[in-house]
Amino acid sequence: MHVGQSLPRVDAYDKVTGRAKYTDDLVDKSALIAKVLHAQIAHGLVIKMDIGEALRVPGVVKIVTCFDVPDILFSTAGHPWSTDISHQDVADRMLLNRRVRLYGDDIAAVVAEDEIAASSALRAIRVEYEEYPHVLNPIEAMAPGAPQLHDAFLNNILKQTSAGRGDFEAAIQEPGLIRIEGEYETPMVQHSHLELPVSYAYIESGRIVIVSSTQIPHIVRRVVGQALGMPWGKVRVIKPYIGGGFGNKQDVLYEPLNAYLCQQVGGRLVKLEISREETFFATRVRHADKIRLVSYVRPNGRIVARSCDVYANQGAYASHGHSVTGKTMTAFRQLYHEEKAHRVTGHTVYTNTPAAGAMRGYGVPQAMFAVESHAEDIAAALNLDSLTFRRMNMMPVGFTDDFSKNVNYYDSLNQCIEKGRACIDYDRKRKLYQNQTGPVRRGVGMSLLWYNTAVWPISLEASSCRMVLNQDGSVQVQLGETEIGQGADTAFAQMTADVLGIPFHDVHMISTQDTDITPYGTGAYASRQTYVGGMSIRQTANMLKEKIISYAHELTRMQIYDLDIQNASIIHRPTGNALLSLGELATEALYSLSHSEHFSAEATYQCKTNAYSLGCAFAEVEVDIPLCKITLLNIVNAHDCGRLVNPQLAAAQVHGGMSMGIGYGLSERMLFDEKTGRLLNDNFLDYKLSTVLDHPRLETRFVENYEPTSAFGTKALGEPPAVPVAPAIRNAVLHATGVAINRAPLNPHELFTAFVSAGLIPTEK
């Protein structure tokens, strides 16, 4: 068995030695360099553009402006296409936009012989604008008279939906209920993947080839076809190794513009790399949410009714749009189960800020920050033990969701709580840290985590796989599902080895996806790949195995049902004898003069299930009140993500998520100049990603309940680790200081304001 073992990554040696090739390593040095001109107003119209001087810059090959591009609106979200029009993503942007909707909108592009010529030309372009007032905040954007971004969306509301259960108005009439209200805010943050968005494009045999750092090659092919108005088969997308995406590259970012620029220079090779600064304002961000929660609770802690209003900042373009808010709402609805009624409304609102898209957790980090801060607030208000309060109200074992048909098969939440509290010595510290008075105080806090796996039934869930047997009995495996640094290829190789009965090192993962060659799969998102990819691997490997065994039957005349493949040999099960090696069989089959066969298998598996992935985080902090600083002393995440395919890689996945959660809770936030709408901190100095010195040792714990709907017992782990960290830290600070801070990140600015108003920092009159 390979599944369940901490085998080394299949790409480890190539990555560590620098042999692994990423997009920028592959581009030919002859490439022309493209750069994008970004608007310097937050809202308005480009009236005129003078490119005369820019064209005279030596080395400039071509300049295209927003006046030149095809009049085609397209959507960029990395969702599977829907043939149902009502379910398609909103198409609201062009390759370059005359109508400017954010400071930094794409309005022109230069293609030049080198980077310096391209940059010099950008500086030489003169732009005249008609400027409109701008709006940066969703609440203001919804108000009557606010500047309107898109004509089709009144009051800037991209979408508003409601959901509920029970008779809310009747439920809150129950005598003796305590009403507790809280408003929670989460920041706009950026994925900050190490490798920048980069692509290059060229035309070959009348077709456009795009090599790109993307999570979703097959979706990029479709969107480029749509954006350029060309048949999808005329587009070929290749995805090499990529240096992180975290959801930003689950959007089609600049591949369509890159392809268009390539067309405009007669199909010559054009490279388009987006700088770090541009990545901040011109790619995607996580929706900044304001979430208002009201709970009606009995004095014993049982929630009777509750309501939730979500206001999500969509930014200038729809991208993933309300799908993200929808998941925020679902997380609110499902983590806790009140006795009688709930209602929830979500608003996703356009503003003149960077477009919000998918980012690790897809709306759930926002939901958990609000819901789990609120849970702590309720427990504090009622003077209840917060774990007891949670246990009284959280999703019960055996719960089945009407919509997804997800079943909460196990007592995962309690099992994770037990692991987390033991690891951090929660009970003892919870008591120890009560009633502190000094300037430096400690606290412990926790947060639950609700998540699910893949996107069914909201959207298509399917994965295709191809396996080809070599003469030596080894196999190549291809999937549309992508390795983006998380270790997917290694997990896939372990699964393949187990189903086929061959050693791990005999599985050759073809890491690169090429839409001309690789079977269709939608890519890396929604923590779906080990779950859905696992299904197509199991199906395809079984098909291949069946063909091999059928051939073994021909060679050995033993009964098909008595044959098996184990450790790369054809085994006769009744005797346990190894009849021949898989390599001998494969060689014979390929070169046989009587029956020659190339063994391959290819299949699509469509998945119509989903699975809960639950867990929690516990944090211990030290708060230096006069310095307004938090030191994170200890943190542990505990997850039930089903059976672990590779425990070491699973832990690494959790570490990465925890690190993102630490930044989300303590330091990361994009800031805008109110007057101009310009992003102020578009770099790693001013955007405070947390460093290794801001991290304690990251502890991980797992509960391995075998997921019954999964091909290998697995379920989501890609995104969940990032989710519960920020609220756990926030609740630990509440425990330490008694101050409830409802706005993340809990940076010194936020702490200073909060401590002054709480009287912990004296102010002089």
Partner 1 sequence: MYNMGAYYEATSVAHAISLLQRHSGPTTKIVAGGSDVLIQMREGKLAGYTLVSIQRLDELRGVYMDDDETLRILPVTSFSHITKHPLIKEYINVLGYAVDQIGSPQIRNIGTIGGNICNGVTSADSASTLLAYDAVVEITGPAGVRRLPITDFYIKAGVVALMPDEVLTAILIPKESYENTHGHYIKYAMRNAMDIATLGCSLNVRLSPDKRAVERVRVGYGVAGPVPMRAKNAEEAGNGRPASMDTVNRAAKAALLDVNPRDSWRASKALRLHLAEELCRRAFTMAITRAGGSL
Q: 557 vs 765, which CB is nearer to partner 1?
A: 765
Residue 126 near partner 1 by CB under 8 A: no
Q: 115 vs 704, which CB is nearer to partner 1?
A: 115
Secondary structure of residue 473 in the 3-state scheme: coil
Q: 25 vs 673, which CB is nearer to partner 1?
A: 673
Helices (H), 350-487: 364-381, 386-393, 412-424, 426-432
Secondary structure of residue 237 in the 3-state scheme: strand
Q: How far is the CB of 693 from partner 1 (least distance, A)?
A: 4
Residue 505 near partner 1 by CB under 8 A: no
Q: What is the DSSP letter of 213?
A: -
Residue 504 near partner 1 by CB under 8 A: no
Q: How far is the CB of 110 from partner 1 (least distance, A)?
A: 14
Q: How far is the CB of 114 from partner 1 (least distance, A)?
A: 7
Residue 40 near partner 1 by CB under 8 A: no
Cα–Cα nearest to 89, from 352, 324, 248: 324
DSSP string, 526-540: TT-IIIIIHHHHHHH
Q: Are 716 and 359 in contact (CB under 8 A)?
A: no
Residue 633 near partner 1 by CB under 8 A: no
Torsion sign across C-alpha atoms 513, 515, 521, 525: positive
Q: Which of 120, 264, 307, 474 binds partner 1 (CB under 8 A)?
A: 120
Cα distances (angstroms) measured from residue 285 to each of 37, 41, 247, 683: 20, 19, 9, 14
Of the listed pieces 90-98, 112-120, 152-160, 445-453, which binds partner 1 according to CB under 8 A?
112-120
Q: Are 596 and 588 in contact (CB under 8 A)?
A: no
Q: How far is the CB of 627 from partner 1 (least distance, A)?
A: 6
Q: How far is the CB of 247 from partner 1 (least distance, A)?
A: 23
Cα–Cα nearest to 615, from 702, 518, 705: 702
Q: How far is the CB of 747 from partner 1 (least distance, A)?
A: 6
| Distance from C-alpha of 224 to C-alpha of 70, rounded to nearest angstrom | 13
Q: In angstroms, how far apart are the furthest CA atoms of the chain?
A: 99
Residue 56 near partner 1 by CB under 8 A: no
Q: 549 vs 741, which CB is nearer to partner 1?
A: 741
Residue 119 near partner 1 by CB under 8 A: yes
C-beta atoms surrounding 593 within 10 Å: 5
Of the listed pieces 343-351, 376-384, 602-610, 622-630, which binds partner 1 according to CB under 8 A?
622-630
Q: How far is the CB of 625 from partner 1 (least distance, A)?
A: 10
Could you say which residues in the range 210-249 bind partner 1, by CB under 8 A?
A: none
Residue 137 near partner 1 by CB under 8 A: no
Residue 194 near partner 1 by CB under 8 A: no
Q: How far is the CB of 106 from partner 1 (least distance, A)?
A: 19
Residue 25 near partner 1 by CB under 8 A: no
Query: How far is Cα of residue 215 from the mean position of the Cα atoms in its chain?
Result: 10
Under 8 Å CB-to-CB from 661, ≥6 apart: which residues? Answer: 365, 617, 721, 722, 723, 724, 725, 726
Residue 319 near partner 1 by CB under 8 A: no
User: Phi then psi for 468, rounded to 5 degrees?
Assistant: -130, 130
Q: Which of 208, 628, 645, 670 binds partner 1 (CB under 8 A)?
A: 628
Q: 114 vs 546, which CB is nearer to partner 1?
A: 114
Of the listed pieces 11-19, 114-122, 182-190, 520-528, which binds partner 1 according to CB under 8 A?
114-122
| Distance from C-alpha of 8 to C-alpha of 6, rounded to nearest angstrom | 6
Q: Which of 194, 266, 693, 765 binds partner 1 (CB under 8 A)?
A: 693
Q: 118 vs 358, which CB is nearer to partner 1?
A: 118
Q: Are 523 and 480 in contact (CB under 8 A)?
A: yes
Beta bridge partners of 578: 571
Cα–Cα nearest to 551, from 466, 469, 467: 469
Cα distances (angstroms) measured from residue 157 to each of 77, 139, 188, 289, 359: 18, 10, 18, 14, 21
| Distance from C-alpha of 601 to C-alpha of 544, rounded to nearest angstrom | 5
Q: Which of 16, 26, 73, 627 binds partner 1 (CB under 8 A)?
A: 627
Residue 116 near partner 1 by CB under 8 A: yes
Of the listed pieces 483-491, 534-542, 608-616, 625-633, which binds partner 1 according to CB under 8 A?
625-633
Q: Which of 691, 706, 708, 757 binds partner 1 (CB under 8 A)?
A: 691
Binding mask 708-747 for partner 1 (x = CB under 8 A): ---------------------------------------x
| Distance from C-alpha of 488 to C-alpha of 496, rounded to nearest angstrom | 12
Q: Which of 21, 87, 123, 573 binds partner 1 (CB under 8 A)?
A: 123
Of the listed pieces 12-20, 108-116, 205-213, 288-296, which binds partner 1 according to CB under 8 A?
108-116
User: Phi then psi for 245, rounded to 5 degrees?
Assistant: -145, -50
Query: Parallel, antiparallel, or unpaired: how do β-strands 32-38 and 270-273 relate?
Result: parallel
**Is the preceding omega at residue 457 within 30 degrees of 0, hence cis?**
yes
730-754 burial by CB neighbour count: b if 16+ within 10 A, else e? bbbbbbbbebbbbbbbbbbebbeeb
Beta bridge partners of 621: 443, 632
Q: Which of 85, 685, 697, 759 binds partner 1 (CB under 8 A)?
A: 685
**Is the preceding omega at residue 745 within 30 degrees of 0, hence cis?**
yes
Residue 602 near partner 1 by CB under 8 A: no
Q: 585 vs 670, which CB is nearer to partner 1?
A: 670
Residue 686 near partner 1 by CB under 8 A: yes
Residue 634 near partner 1 by CB under 8 A: no
Q: 131 vs 673, which CB is nearer to partner 1?
A: 673
Q: 188 vs 645, which CB is nearer to partner 1?
A: 188
Q: What is the DSSP letter of 289?
A: E
Beta bridge partners of 619: 445, 635
Residue 447 near partner 1 by CB under 8 A: no
Q: Which of 401, 602, 694, 704 binds partner 1 (CB under 8 A)?
A: 694
Binding mask 652-681 for partner 1 (x = CB under 8 A): ---------------x---x-x------x-
Q: Applying CB under 8 A, what is the total number of residues that bind partner 1?
A: 27
**Residue 258, H or E segment:** helix 255-264
Interacting residues toward partner 1 by CB under 8 A: 114-116, 119-120, 123, 626-628, 667, 671, 673, 680, 684-686, 688, 690-694, 747-749, 752, 761
